[in-house]
Structure 1
Amino acid sequence: MQLLIRYFAAACAAAKSESTMVDVADDITLGELEHILAADNPDLAHVLPRCSYLRDEIALADRTRQLGPTRTIDVLPPFAGG
């Protein structure tokens, strides 16, 4: 399946991009997706473990869970302030 990955704040800076498209297997887990996104990018690899995620605008925290049919993943690093 093809996913739009949108990066915000520190994740955007680490990825050096606001978004990217990736082709992944239909049964991929969030943890496996993190591994793919972090490949060859140590800055992003450092940020991703602290991030939270939205799967088609719904929070997703379990990194062992398969994504299932998905169009968009938002990568949200911890934010400071109110």
Structure 2
Amino acid sequence: MAIVNYFAAARAAAGVTESEINGSTLGEVISAASSQYPQLVAMLPGCSYLVNGSAQSDLSTEISADDVIDVLPRFAGGA
């Protein structure tokens, strides 16, 4: 499972600082996080994502179990 870190408003919406989420692509991980934390759904379209510290906007990016994904809302560096 990938580690997903939530920052700023995403952290407040999820109610956690990080979680372990299954998914083989960035899009699958984000979708699974949305299902697990429904309050994230409204804010995710305005978020940016870092995968292992590198900005990533392609939701088809492959994700492995040891990857770290950072979810950044607009004011914390998001889109």
> Which bracket does the TM-score occupy, shorter chain normalised?
0.7 to 0.9
Question: Which residue of structure 2 aligns with residue 20 of structure 1?
Answer: 19
Q: Deviations over 1:31-53 (max 9, x none)?
A: 11111000053311111121101
Question: Which residue of structure 1 aligns with residue 58 of structure 2?
Answer: 62
Structure 1, unpaired ranges of 5+: none
Q: Distance in 1 between matches of 2:44 and 2:60?
A: 15
Q: Deviations over 1:8-41 (max 9, x none)?
A: 001000100111122x25xx22111111000053
One-letter amino acid of the structure 2 residue matched with residue 5 of structure 1: V
Superposition pairs of residues 1-82 of structure 1, within 5 angstroms: 2-22=1-21, 24-25=22-23, 28-68=24-64, 70-79=66-75
Larger radius of gyration: 1
Aligned-pair Cα RMSD in Å: 1.9
C-alpha spacing 1:53/1:65, structure 2 compared with 1 (3 Å): same
Q: Indicate the percent of aligned positions where both proteins have the same amino acid.
A: 38
Q: Is the 8 A contact 2:2 2:65 kept in 1?
A: no
Q: Is the 8 A contact 2:2 2:66 kept in 1?
A: yes
TM-score by length of 2: 0.81
TM-score by length of 1: 0.79
